[in-house]
Amino acid sequence: MRNEMTLEFTSISENESLARVSVAAFVSQLNPTMEELTDIKTVVSEAVTNAIIHGYEEQKDEKVLLTCAIDDGEIEIIIQDRGQGIENIDIAKEPLYTSKPEWERSGMGFTIMENFMDRVDITSEPGVGTTIRMTKQLTSTRALCN
Amino acid sequence: MRNEMTLEFTSISENESLARVSVAAFVSQLNPTMEELTDIKTVVSEAVTNAIIHGYEEQKDEKVLLTCAIDDGEIEIIIQDRGQGIENIDIAKEPLYTSKPEWERSGMGFTIMENFMDRVDITSEPGVGTTIRMTKQLTSTRALCN
Amino acid sequence: MSLQVKFAVRENVLVVRLEGELDHHEATNLRESWQKELNNNGVEHVIVNLQKLSFMDSSGLGVMLGRYKEVQAKGNEMVLCSISPEVRRLFDMSGMFKIMKLVDDEASALEMLGVASCEMK
Amino acid sequence: MSLQVKFAVRENVLVVRLEGELDHHEATNLRESWQKELNNNGVEHVIVNLQKLSFMDSSGLGVMLGRYKEVQAKGNEMVLCSISPEVRRLFDMSGMFKIMKLVDDEASALEMLGVASCEMK
Ligand SMILES: Nc1ncnc2c1ncn2[C@@H]1O[C@H](COP(=O)(O)OP(=O)(O)O)[C@@H](O)[C@H]1O
Ligand SMILES: Nc1ncnc2c1ncn2[C@@H]1O[C@H](COP(=O)(O)OP(=O)(O)O)[C@@H](O)[C@H]1O
């Protein structure tokens, strides 16, 4: 059975934990392992942080949109901002690349998303915004499908 | 400073805890007391449960909409369904009144909302849906205003 | 965050220990398993231990009241014990203690129901 | 759910104990208070105790790497200890242990940095 949630929130860093906690509460219906739950909280934190600091450059009156759907043990997470967008996605995805080294960014956000999820799709247009779509099949349910 | 979240989710009982957990994570930015946090979780649970069982009569493919805003220590929570609506709001609000005694409903939902929150406004139209708007001023911030 | 339910029988008393959060989603399962236990075992009275229950809403009140009525209809007793401050707020507000008895712990509840208060398995 | 930070000084070693969740929101405050501690007290080396840290993301890695570079620039050492399985996943994935040392507990870390391993205040 399909279950869906959509969470929209003000673009302030206080809401990063809200995003993690909500997605964790939602996917826990599927009985994920501790590792899977940690991975999911981490990638949500990465993408939401990016929307706030890169997409909106810390403007505090914008909105971040998070959608999460579960369907037969597959998790789909979409995080969207209507911020400044990414000029060159290939460069942005490179491990250790960051456009904000002065803020002590590690440049590992996209690398972590790609490692912890099965699939990561980045759509972005300068001046329009960025959408990150990620999916992951949980192992418990993957085993059941064999 | 104003901070806002909007959560929309499928009308299934699994999501009752999601609604509580999300609102609790959101309002905890205001450092509520344990009592205040319990009150808020309880009223969210009441209104979301009502949307699922009364509004949608357990149809599982509808949406419940929850909005929460905090502004200077005042919390506003709005819970909305596009379900069957309430014929007579005055009767519905009476303590112990329930239209579903066969489901072991206690009829205490609205009484709890009115006791645990400062203000509860019910807007409802048969065939269109129900909106519950509740507000509460936290004591910590109330004290500061004196 | 979900509800764990443990049943134990001590002479003619059913002890129901609730842990976690009791809402509408959990109430249906709880009702069914509780009713099954009440029909087994020659059970008469009931003790509900709320010590590890961290959250409850009016759907939980419905289940409590439902079982209370069933137990009372047979002339038996239902006693609550070990309530936490979080859950107590709801019980106080809704006047449940005008109907049901509350005691401090399981030992007191067992004593009240006439069960010798030695170690519980 | 937020971050608690406790600093302690033992001879020339700053011990940083993190508890809770370290994300971008908490990273800015942590950076500031940590840098302040590094400038006080004649501190040279650093131990970061991660035992009670339940969550960390790449913003946390940024703070760790930032402090590591500052400590290393002065010819001193920074050692991590007591990492939980949750947080370890991120460190493993991002190759942090190729750069920083990890030991089992504070006692081992103190010993490695040449501090006599008696009771810590
Ligand atoms: N939502 C976004 N909007 C605009 N730019 C982004 C967004 N997300 C990522 N980027 C760009 O991609 C770069 C790499 O991102 P990431 O790998 O997460 O590293 P970091 O956040 O540490 O910089 C960022 O430095 C930024 O330039
Ligand atoms: N969202 C809703 N949509 C339709 N009817 C509702 C809704 N919420 C409440 N009601 C009506 O109001 C009555 C009283 O609600 P409440 O006090 O919460 O008690 P209970 O949920 O135990 O029945 C319900 O029995 C129902 O008839």
What are the pLDDT digits (tens) for B27-54? 999 999 999 999 999 999 999 999 999 9
3-state percent helix, strand, coil for chain D, nearest multiple of 5: 40, 30, 25
For chain D, give the percent of residues with pLDDT over 90. Answer: 89
Establish if D63 touches chain A: CB-CB under 8 angstroms: yes
The Cα of A24 is separated from the nearest Cα of chain B by a number of Å equal to 9
Max CA distance (Å), chain B: 48
- Domain of residue A45, CATH code: 3.30.565.10
Nearest protein CA to atom 1 of ligand 2, as residue = B51
> C35, C12, C22: which is closest to C90 by C-alpha?
C22
Mean pLDDT of A80-105: 96
Which ligand sits closest to the CA of C60? 2
The stretch A34-54 carries a mean pLDDT of 97
Contacting residues of D for A64, CB less than 8 Å apart: none
The confidence score (pLDDT) of residue B145 equals: 46
Which of C56, C5, C2 minimizes the C-alpha distance to C31? Answer: C5
pLDDT band at B143 (very low <50, low <70, confident <90, very high): low
* Domain residue limits at A105: 3-145
Cβ–Cβ gap A41/D55 under 8 Å: yes
8 Å CB contact of A17 and D85: no
D15 φ/ψ angles, rounded to the nearest 5 degrees: -100, 125
The total number of structural domains that make up chain A? 1
Question: Rounded mean pLDDT of chain D?
Answer: 93
Assess D29–A contact: CB distance below 8 Å, yes or no: no
User: What region, left, alpha or beta, does residue B12 occupy, with left being phi > 0 and alpha being psi -120 to 50 degrees?
Assistant: beta
Ligand 1 binding pocket (C-beta < 6 A) is A 46, 50-51, 54-55, 81, 83-86, 92, 97-100, 105-110, 130; D 58
Residue C69: DSSP 8-state: H
B46 is catalytic: yes
C-alpha A110 to ligand 1 mean position (Å): 8
CA distance A50 to chain B (A): 18
Q: Is the pLDDT of residue D7 over 60?
A: yes
**Given the CA of residue A110, which atom of ligand 1 is nearest to it?**
17
CATH class for the domain made up of D3-112: alpha beta
The string of pLDDT tens digits covering residues D21-78 is: 999 999 999 999 999 999 986 899 999 999 999 999 999 999 999 999 999 999 999 9
pLDDT at C42 over 90: no
The first and second tokens of residue C94, run together, are 């809704």
Picking from A40, A45, A56 by the largest number of D CB atoms within 10 A of its own CB, the best residue to mutate is A45
C1 contacts in chain B (CB < 8 Å): 17, 21
The pLDDT score that the predictor gives to residue D121 is: 45
Q: Does B123 touch chain C (CB under 8 A)?
A: no
**ipTM of the complex, rounded to two decimals:** 0.92
Does the distance separating the beta carbons of D24 and A49 come in below 8 Å?
Answer: yes
Distance CA A91, CA B144 (A): 49
What is the rounded distance in angstroms from the CA atom of residue D44 to the CA atom of residue A146? 56
Residue B146: which pLDDT band, with cuts at 50, 70 and 90? very low
**Cβ within 8 Å, pair A49-D59:** yes
pLDDT tens column, C49-107: 999 999 999 999 999 999 999 999 999 999 999 999 999 999 999 999 999 999 999 99
* Atom number in ligand 2 closest to CA B130: 1
Centroid of ligand 2 to alpha carbon of B23 (angstroms):
21
D93 touches chain A (CB under 8 A): yes
Q: What is the distance in A from the centroid of ligand 2 to the CA of B50?
A: 5
Residue C58 and residue B112: Cβ atoms within 8 Å?
A: yes
Count Cα atoms within 13 angstroms, Cβ side, for D73. 7
This prediction has a pTM of 0.93
Residues with CB under 6 A from ligand 2: B 46, 50-51, 54-55, 81, 83-86, 92, 97-100, 105-110, 130; C 58
Residues 6 or more apart whose CB falls under 8 angstroms from that of D68 comprise D78, D99, D100
Q: Which chain B residue has its CA at the smallest distance from A11's CA? A: B3
What is the spatial distance between Cα A32 and Cα D76, in angstroms, rounded to a whole number?
Answer: 42
What are the chain A neighbours of D66 within 8 Å (beta carbons)?
Answer: 104
Å from CA of B125 to ligand 2 middle: 13
